[in-house]
Amino acid sequence: MSFSIAGKTAIITGAANGIGLSIARHFADNGANVICADIDEARLLDEWGPNPDSDTDDPSNTRIFAGDLREKLTIANLLSATIDAFERVDILVNASRQVMLTDPLDADNKAVQILLDQNLMTSLRLSQLVAKRMIQQGEELGDDDQNTPLGAIVNLSSIAASRTQPGLMAYSIASAALDQMTRSLAVALAANRIRVNAVAFGSVMSASLQDTIRDAGETREDILEGTPLGRIASANEVAEAVQFLSSEGAGFMTGHILTVDGGRSLLDAVGNPAH
């Protein structure tokens, strides 16, 4: 059983910061060709540097792509840039996500629409387009061996999909929808030998959580009290779970929501904040 992703080409969204950045670095360090996509071009350049000139023989296994993936044309351009750089795509990691604290009685429901557009629809559209390319690659190779995978898609979700608080209603709705989209696409693409899974995580020591803990010190103790393993996960632990689902080691797993939360979702969530 191999968990290697060496030589594979992966598109990773949300790769300018946070968990998406950690996943992109982890994949690059483990030998994958990585397209680091994000709307924040300045932070992409800070983290990854400029793309090599197209007329140079640069051995780098990373490229950056800046654009608003809520736009259909941008999604198409991202795939084109991937093919231009590495000729194929084997893995898609939908790590671009947004969290908003909202009023659950807000009749306008703007936050619900924002998070559905950002966390669900962007992932769905990109998954559909990338899946078509993966299928095309298989046809071009003439490979009809049902034991040979054509690709893997991994979505980033949250335990908030099933355990929530009123202020996180919009985020919970979008997370639950993403989980169901993962299962539905897994069934739809199974015949094409494309696996679709998700990682649902609890508290991860991201920059935003560090800021929250700094501003409200009791938050850390609340999280630790509500987590059986008694600590907060590192972003790299999420990255390792994503690598597993992307690898041949998970070759018979599809439609699975892999929970990485230190046991937090096993407890009664009342009174415990969701971060």
Does 3 reside within a domain? no
Read off the pLDDT band of 54 (50, 70, 90). Answer: very low
Q: What is the pLDDT of residues 145-193, one digit of tens each?
A: 777 889 999 999 999 999 878 888 999 999 999 999 999 999 999 999 9
Running DSSP on this structure, what letter comes out for residue 121?
A: I
Does 101 reside within a domain? yes
Q: Which of 74, 79, 57, 64 is nearest to 16 (CA)?
A: 64
- Is residue 171 among the annotated active site residues? yes
Does 103 reside within a domain? yes
The three-class DSSP label of residue 167 is helix
**Given this model, what pLDDT does residue 222 score?**
82
Task: Report the percent of the chain where pLDDT is more than 70.
Answer: 90
Q: What letters, b where the CB count within 10 A reaches 16 and e where it falls short, cover 65-96?
A: bbbebeeeebbeebbebbeebbebbbbbbbbb
Q: What is the pLDDT of residues 126-150, one digit of tens each?
A: 999 999 999 999 998 876 677 788 9
Cα separation, 189 vs 254, in Å, equals 10
What is the number of domains present in the chain? 1
* Range ranked top by mean pLDDT from 52-56, 100-104, 241-245: 241-245
Q: Which of 79-93, 103-117, 260-274 has the lowest mean pLDDT?
A: 260-274
**Given this model, what pLDDT does residue 55 score?**
43
Does 67 reside within a domain? yes
**Burial tier of 58 (Cβ tally within 10 Å: 0-12, 13-18, 19+):** exposed
Does 208 reside within a domain? no
Does 229 reside within a domain? no
Name the strands in the sheet holding 33-38, side by side, starting at the edge strand that comes first in the sequence: 62-66, 33-38, 9-13, 91-94, 151-158, 194-201, 257-260
DSSP 77-107: HHHHHHHHHHS---EEEE---------TT-T
Is the pLDDT at 272 greater than 70? The verdict is no
Question: Of 5, 171, 182, 250, which is the active-site residue?
Answer: 171
Give the CATH number of the domain where residue 32 resides.
Answer: 3.40.50.720
Sole residue written with tokens 């490229």: 63
Element (H, E) at 248: none
Is the pLDDT at 28 greater than 60? The verdict is yes
Residues of the domain holding 160: 9-203+235-262
Does 224 reside within a domain? no
Compare 90 and 218 and report the one with higher pLDDT.
Answer: 90
- Entry pTM: 0.91
Amino acid at 258: L
